Amino acid sequence: MLKLLSILFSFSAGAIAQQTGLVETSDVDLAYESYGAPSAATPVIVANGGPGLSHVYMIQNDVWTRLAKTRQIVFYDQRGTGKSTRLKSGASQEIEAQIGDLEAVRIKFNFQKFDLVGDSYGGFLAMAYASAHPDRVNKLILSDSAAPAMKNIVRVLSQVFPDMMDRNPSRSPDPQEQMRNHFRMLFYSEEKRDAYLTGAKDLGYNPQIGAAVSRAVSNVDLTPHLANFAFPTLVITGRYDMNVAPLTAWNIYKAIPGAKFVVFAKSGHLPSYEEPDKYVQVVDAFLNGR
């Protein structure tokens, strides 16, 4: 059963249609937020990172509303995160359940095929969905994505930020402050880091969900599936991403036939925030086949 919580459409000049609501499943009510109206362009679903974060960290600037001027773009909060709070007791956090949630969102919007964006951990989820439902994916974008096997992520935070790691983020009693401390290590530009954290008051972090998902996917290896990806794939990385170092993106790029690889030279883990104009140009060109 699908329940629409609220719909807000704005038709003033230059405004972007926005829609929010819930997709009800037996395990969870998945909160979604979409930008842009249905059009001839292939729609987009975005899988955000974490695990344990809501999608709110991805919408701290106008990148996605700019991209939504010509297409519909859908975000959703993964089970147990953000506004997807109604979660059945004992519900699975295994990757199969998460794939099922993304598929439920697709069905709600009646997308026969869609372009799939995976950011950070969401890249792992996107690769898992694409492996399970390759016929549904038109194009795939992996933005500073986790590796297809989580154990293979190249992460150098402790080598680059020993002083900040010494003030271990996990020592804070406040989960939100834990995550904000982590985000302080994700940027190339200190100025943009400070502006981001000033604007992002609550990152919607649920440490229990994050830990449960991490345990559930720790032994999943999607690597064998990548060679079978027949849809166009774009792999994006920030040159100075210490959370998921560019070698991770490079290895994904080399494993997917015909993939495209783009480096953002003045970005850390969030090139969509640090180099927004280039991000819009690169993503829009890829989605439009340019």
> Whose structure tokens read 């292939």?
42
- Residue-wise pLDDT for 53-100, tens only, equals 999 999 999 999 999 999 999 999 999 999 999 999 999 999 999 999
pLDDT confidence of 203, banded at 50, 70, 90? confident
pLDDT at 237 over 80: yes
Strand partners, 157: none
The DSSP secondary-structure symbol of 10 reads -
**Average pLDDT, integer, range 193-209:** 90
pLDDT at 168 over 80: no
Q: Can you read off the two tokens belonging to residue 70?
A: 């010509």
Q: Can you read off the two tokens belonging to residue 42?
A: 């292939």
**Average pLDDT, integer, range 118-138:** 98
Instruction: Output the CA–CA distances (angstroms, integers) from residue 225 to 8, 132, 289, in the order listed.
Output: 39, 9, 24
pLDDT given at position 7: 37
Tell me phi and psi for residue 7, to 5 degrees: -130, 130
Whole-number Å distance between alpha carbons of 275 and 71: 21
**Average pLDDT, integer, range 9-18:** 56
Question: What percent of the chain stands above pLDDT 70?
Answer: 93
pLDDT given at position 163: 87
Quick one: which H or E segment has residue 253? helix 246-255
pLDDT at 109 over 90: yes
Between β-strands 114-119 and 44-47, what pairing exists: parallel, antiparallel or unpaired? parallel
Residues 6 or more apart whose Cβ sits within 8 Å of residue 270? 144, 186, 187, 196, 238
- Could you tell me which CATH number the domain at 2-287 has? 3.40.50.1820
Cβ atoms of 50 and 261 within 8 Å: the answer is no
Choice between 71 and 169, residue whose per-residue pLDDT is larger: 71
Cβ atoms of 143 and 67 within 8 Å: the answer is no
- Whole-model pTM: value is 0.93
Q: At what angle do helices 95-109 and 207-217 cross, to 10 degrees?
A: 110
pLDDT confidence of 4, banded at 50, 70, 90? very low
pLDDT at 12 over 70: no
**Average pLDDT, integer, range 4-11:** 36
The mean pLDDT value of the chain amounts to 92
Strand partners, 142: 118, 235
Cβ atoms of 67 and 284 within 8 Å: the answer is yes
Question: Helical H runs in 69-226?
Answer: 95-109, 121-132, 157-160, 162-166, 175-183, 190-199, 207-217, 223-226
Cβ atoms of 203 and 179 within 8 Å: the answer is yes
Q: Can you read off the two tokens belonging to residue 44?
A: 């987009």
pLDDT given at position 13: 36
Q: Can you read off the two tokens belonging to residue 124?
A: 């792992």
Q: Can you read off the two tokens belonging to residue 40?
A: 């001839």
Identity of the residue numbered 128 = A
Q: Where are the domains of the chain?
A: 2-287
**Average pLDDT, integer, range 1-13:** 36
pLDDT at 2 over 70: no
